[in-house]
Structure 1
Amino acid sequence: MTTMVGSSFFMYLMGVFSFCLGRKHLLLMLLSLEFVVVALFLMLYSYLCLYDWEFYFLMVFLTMSVCEGALGLSVLVLLMRTYGNNYMISFNLLW
């Protein structure tokens, strides 16, 4: 169980690192955020297995992460239709 926690923590750190490096493209940012969500899911699963608790909260967590992914993809589609690319520098919030 400790190797699962260690590997998921490493996955979390690599997801945050790739989020910081891929800040120019919205699609890369969304993919790294989903990677972070998967790592958090694995950490939460191993924590709940360790203490023999219910897994109902995992379903709530997965539901919220799916909603986050759908919202990110809708912003990506809006950005692609409006500006024609997914560069974050072209998305100006002041317009």
Structure 2
Amino acid sequence: MVDKSPLDDPEAAAFAWARYRRIMRFMMLLTIGLVSIAMALLYKFGGEVSVHFYIATALGVGFVMLLASALMGLVFLSSGTGHDEAVDNNMPDNSIDEN
């Protein structure tokens, strides 16, 4: 029998997803700040480089930060709601009788 996930409850799910969105908003602001700092440092110490270098760096830093925060946020969502404990990981017994 599979246990019910706490995320099946609409009230608990709404709270969990609101917390996830709050984490993602904070991480978006942090990402914008870090990209701005990276661009300022590149401009000050980078010498003469193409505008494409700045675009690629901004997109790369931004994408990596947002992807990492989205995945970690989902881990926190799953763990914080008790959804991980509701998953049944029991494997069927595949042993061979040695008679």
TM category, shorter:
0.3 to 0.5
Q: Larger % of helix: which?
A: 1
* TM-score using structure 1 length: 0.42
* TM-score using structure 2 length: 0.41
Higher RCO, 1 vs 2 (CA within 8 Å, ≥6 residues apart): 2
